[in-house]
Structure 1
Amino acid sequence: SPQGTVKDTVMFAIDVGYHHFDCAYLCQNESEIRDALQEKIEEDVVRQADLFIVSKLWSTFHERPLVKEPGQKTLAALQLDYLDLYLIHWPMGFKILRQDIETPGREELFPADGNGMTIPSNTDFLGMWE
């Protein structure tokens, strides 16, 4: 969704009865989702316990030491205590070019070589499950 439209869409969705919100680090819209959820919670329209919030671990964070932090940052960005489900966005990993997940850029989401080909990670995705 275009930046600046997500908050109104989420608020409308809650008003008409949606309770399942499928978020993703890739979408880069957690602040708008947060604003909508918090506003509806403060208005007593809904409680977090009534919602089912999903997010996903992005493909540049498949290395074992990197797995936990993005989930914690998602919780902080959404201002939630918990997610109902946290998934691996895609099973294949991408090489992380910069360890800064505070201000991601397109090159960090889809790291590419000089030919524009996505650079895969050498990380075995099964290691994330340990």
Structure 2
Amino acid sequence: MPVTVPRREYDPWLARQSQPFRSKHPIVIPDPGTYGGFEADFRAAVDGSDPDAPAKVAHSLKGVAGNLGMHELYQSLLQLEMACKNHEPQLEKKLQQVTDKLATVMTGLKRLGPRI
């Protein structure tokens, strides 16, 4: 089940604004278990027959990270996606950077769960 967090609590940029942000709708953060299998999904895409699949897998999670203000994860995913599209040989290093940042995000999301 997704975790719901009021928008003002997750976006530091909004918290710094002079006018308080008011929203009738909370931001829904995906269940931490949803993206825990990213590495396996990415590796399966690399081993698959569709040469565009790895970039698509990275792009999907990049969109979630960008929408939720997870800037470091977003940047790592952007680099991984570009490396896939450009057929760069350093995919393993870039994938490790993503999985490290994703693990940090997942740990934080799991901590939020009981509070909401």
**TM-score, scaled relative to structure 2:** 0.31
Q: Which structure has the highest strand share of the two?
A: 1
**TM-score, scaled relative to structure 1:** 0.29
Q: Which structure has the highest helix share of the two?
A: 2
